Structure 1
Amino acid sequence: MIAILAGLWCLGAAAFWAVAWIAVERVRALPRLREAEAPAPAAWPRLSVVSPACNEEEAIEASVRSLLVQDYPDLEIVAVDDRSTDRTGALLDALAEADPRLAVEHIQRLPEGWLGKLNALQRGVARASGDWLLFADADTVYAPHALRHVVAFCEAEGVDLLTLFPELLPMGLLGDATIFAAGVFGSPAGRMWAVADPDSDAFCGLGAFILVRRAAFARTPGFEWLRLEVADDMGLGLMVKRAGGACRVGQGVGLLKLRWYRDFSEMSRKMQKNFYGILGRFSAARVLSAVAFLLATVLFPLAALAPGLPAWAVLPGLALMHLATLRMTGWLELRRPARWLPELGLLGMAWIMVRAAWIGAREDGITWRGVRYPASELRGVQKVRF
């Protein structure tokens, strides 16, 4: 009986990793934007970059300078300093004095009923005048030709929303392994390959880079509809897709890069709201149930200890887990050692999820940028659900 149960465990894990591998192969079919060739439009539309920043003094200057050296002919940059307590605002003001294309909005007070980043995005859109709006994290750094390249692609292909995977800079061995594992593990649910299908309800938005046609954005309810949405980037993708926009997901290596987190410790802190809010829908029990499923997919080699089960029974699942990880990291052009350690990354994910459940249950909500939001309030208006 024990051998039968252990065999079923191995079979179930192998089935999941087979599904994940198939999902990764479908993701790999998405376009590599630097390889896409598109003619220049007859007239370049005005482009506004909206970049909210809160305490980003270490990264904001490099990001903005990479925008200011773009070869795009009609560019406006709206940087929104969202209640920063470090030198972010001062750095932005100094850069704006030297280049009139940069406008800086300073937010001193957060309105009631808004998450800080959503309010900052709302302020940025109100200030922006472009025909295209690029919503991007304040630590994204761009290749000099990136904006011209992506706008030409969208104009030629009739795209209303384009979101890109960036080049991911190193986050330490455990940080890299965890982010790689999260990408593979979440691929089946993400369905990024289906985003371009107008008949599919799949949607996507990756905060590092979301380029939206202003006319398409105007057909959405706007950021007020998302004002308490933890997954603001995915929410933007959802709005544009629901409004009938033509949406695409692509790989942006060679065009943009960023370091999502400095290390695993920072990742654990900043991903807490994501796992508790998005994955768990503000329920610790839901997060812990996901942890149980995750552990079942990574600890299944222990089944080889069961008497009567041949050791080779664990090999299909292990092979598929490693194959899916290597294929995903290969597509993202990540050749770092962590790509060989999916088990380590999955255990890192499990730790972050357990921590997220514990903190979420203790606080009965989330604390973001110094403001506490009760779970009951956030749950009632949540739009992004998986």
Structure 2
Amino acid sequence: MIRDALLLVLLLAQLPATALLLSRLLRGPSRYPPLQPKTPTPEQLGAVSVVVPTLNEAERLTPCLDGLSRQSYEVREILVVDSYSTDRTPELVKTAQEADPRFRLLNDDPLPKDWVGRPWALHHGFLSSAEKSDWVLGIDADTQPQPGLVASLLETAQREGYDLISLAPQFLLKYPGELLLHPALLLTLVYRFGPAGETGNRPDRVMANGQCFFCRRSQLAQVGGYTVARRSFCDDVTLARAIAAQGAKVAFLDGANLLKVRMYEGAAETWREWGRSLDLKDAASPGQVWGDWLLLLAVQGLPIPIVLLLLRDVISGGSAPVVLAAFSLNVLLVLIRVGLTFAISPSCDLTHASSAWLFWLSPLADPIAVLRLFLSSLQTPTQWRGRSYEKG
């Protein structure tokens, strides 16, 4: 039968994809443990400059400013680089400065044609930061830094010899649609690169998160600041891979105990804003992008539809061996996905969620997440955070 032949082809594709997935997930128990809050030591005094890029962030900036103000004396300065916001963002920063003189409000220069706004603002902050600071920490406006964050980053980097650390945060989820879609999108990263705390990836497979990007000043200077990522809509991964390629020791670690983030409001914004950059095409070759997508299709997008398609045949009995084999393999992949839902649950704060139980049904959104990455891989963003960009 044609269907059995198609199932055999699918099975031959899924078997090596499953083996690759398992090789990544089985390294999870040996990953670097989640970071914990730390208290700074005297020799860390003034070691870090923090840079926060902003553009019309008034609705979510206050928790970020409050969290940064609770960091201790290891933070020399907090530079908020504002791209001429038209809301109350500048006023919020000025109010924070009255209580904490480490805050400084800067405006970046007009955006050059060959730059994306976020790396341009971060580059301006890097160039404006104090040269006496040995480290530069990029923090996004939608984050909520917890006490002890910066001291923990410093202590970990100094103990382990890291030149760059970025953190996977704890995501604050609220609305039903995002409770389904966000975990599915998040797990596309785990399927491709392994869990946070995985430090053994090649430079071209390094993961990073610009919401908390902690780097030695000397390493940033060596690559020319953020210039290498100037046209990238995933500038964090682009920059991290460029730094790793120069021999630096780079880590993407679990920071759920140190950093919370409220990224997007609802499923529509999650689909539109996060989905368009998760393909990471600006930091990878086309072969990597499409190879990763085929892996996701095989082990994340297809298992639930295949199980549902074959369930009646298996229950009725008398199924061909290839049907039983395909059904069994895809049941295994669904069980892996269910297990990963439990594994990522500490990375998702559901305390303010309506219908929090929908989080546990997020495997049903996997085909949608894989479709979103397919569409993203075909497109070049022309709009981002209220700015328009030319293609090319």
Matches for 1:123-272 after TM superposition, within 5 Å: 123-129=124-130, 130-190=133-193, 196-197=199-200, 201-272=204-275
Q: Supply the AA of the counterpart residue of 1:314.
A: F
Tell me the equivalent position of 1:308. 319
Q: Secondary structure at the match of 1:152?
A: helix
Residue 342 (structure 1) shift: 4.3
Tell me the equivalent position of 1:321. 334
**Distance change in 2, residues 1:192/1:160 (3 Å):** farther
Q: Secondary structure at the match of 2:238?
A: helix
- Give yes or no for contact 2:169–2:347 (8 Å, CA) kept in 1: no
Distance in 1, matches of 2:197 and 2:160, equals 17
Q: Secondary structure at the match of 1:274?
A: coil
Give the number of aligned pairs: 371
Q: Supply the AA of the counterpart residue of 1:133.
A: V
TM-score of the superposition, structure 1-length normalised?
0.82
Q: Deviations over 1:11-42 (max 9, x none)?
A: 64465345334423324532234359899474
- Give yes or no for contact 1:38–1:156 (8 Å, CA) kept in 2: no
Tell me the equivalent position of 2:343. 330
- Give yes or no for contact 1:10–1:300 (8 Å, CA) kept in 2: no
Q: Secondary structure at the match of 1:32?
A: coil
**Distance change in 2, residues 1:245/1:329 (3 Å):** farther
**Distance change in 2, residues 1:41/1:345 (3 Å):** farther
Residue 244 (structure 1) shift: 1.9
Q: Secondary structure at the match of 1:374?
A: coil
Identity of aligned residues (%): 23
Tell me the equivalent position of 1:30. 31
Tell me the equivalent position of 1:384. none
Q: Secondary structure at the match of 1:333?
A: helix
Q: Supply the AA of the counterpart residue of 1:78.
A: L
Residue 314 (structure 1) shift: 1.9
Distance in 2, matches of 1:212 and 1:270, equals 26
Q: Secondary structure at the match of 1:341?
A: helix
**Distance change in 2, residues 1:35/1:109 (3 Å):** closer
Distance in 1, matches of 2:37 and 2:280, equals 36
Distance in 2, matches of 1:185 and 1:223, equals 26
Residue 43 (structure 1) shift: 4.3
Distance in 2, matches of 1:204 and 1:239, equals 12
**Distance change in 2, residues 1:238/1:20 (3 Å):** same
Q: Supply the AA of the counterpart residue of 1:316.
A: L
Q: Deviations over 1:112-142 (max 9, x none)?
A: 2211111101111112112111112111112
- Give yes or no for contact 1:52–1:121 (8 Å, CA) kept in 2: yes
- Give yes or no for contact 1:326–1:340 (8 Å, CA) kept in 2: no
Residue 190 (structure 1) shift: 2.3
**Distance change in 2, residues 1:35/1:154 (3 Å):** same
**Distance change in 2, residues 1:25/1:84 (3 Å):** farther
Tell me the equivalent position of 2:351. none
- Give yes or no for contact 2:135–2:214 (8 Å, CA) kept in 1: yes
TM-score of the superposition, structure 2-length normalised?
0.80
Residue 266 (structure 1) shift: 0.8
Residue 226 (structure 1) shift: 1.6
Structure 1 stretches lacking a partner, 5+ long? 378-386
Tell me the equivalent position of 1:383. none
Q: Supply the AA of the counterpart residue of 1:143.
A: Q
2:53 matches 1:52? yes
- Give yes or no for contact 2:229–2:238 (8 Å, CA) kept in 1: yes
Tell me the equivalent position of 1:374. 390
**Distance change in 2, residues 1:253/1:72 (3 Å):** farther
Residue 234 (structure 1) shift: 0.5
Residue 236 (structure 1) shift: 2.0
**Distance change in 2, residues 1:51/1:295 (3 Å):** same
Q: Supply the AA of the counterpart residue of 1:185.
A: T
Structure 2 stretches lacking a partner, 5+ long? 349-355
Residue 170 (structure 1) shift: 1.1
Tell me the equivalent position of 2:63. 62
